Amino acid sequence: MTRWLGRYSEVAYLLLRVVAGLLFAQHGAQKLFGALGGQGVPLFSIFGLAGVIELGGGVMIALGVLTSWVAFVCAGQMAVAYFWKHAPGGIWPVVNRGELAVLYCFIFLYIAAHGGGRWELTAKRG
């Protein structure tokens, strides 16, 4: 299986980066604009800052702009979100409803370590 799928590893990574980035950006749109069933929050609040990181960071990751740095910041935001909001509800993410924060955190850590890949816009520019 590795030989067959290995040929598509760069495309699979691109899809992971784009899909994760765009899904993350939707959370920011919910916070900042009340879009997609969300409720808008004040821009100059901790949730407003989270919305800016999610929307801006998600779009930048999807496009491949400063991917490693932005993904590292987004991973940090998800770690903070998990420990502030979810961890007080219990140790297990499935119990405290923090699975999404944990998953985003580790996906973004992987993206930060891997970089933007072949189709990173920042790499094309410079």
For 70-83, give the DSSP string.
HHHHHHHHHHHHII
Q: Extract the tokens encoding 90.
A: 């219990």
Output the CA angle 101-102-103, nearest 5 degrees. 95
Q: What is the mean pLDDT of the chain?
A: 93
* CA 63 vs CA 25, 90, 92, 123: distances in Å: 12, 36, 33, 11
Domain ranges of the chain: 2-118
Tens of pLDDT, residue by residue over 64-90, are: 999 999 999 999 999 999 999 999 999
Distance of CA 93 to CAs 56, 99, 103, 115, Å?
Answer: 26, 5, 10, 27
Of all residues in the chain, the percent with pLDDT exceeding 70 is 95
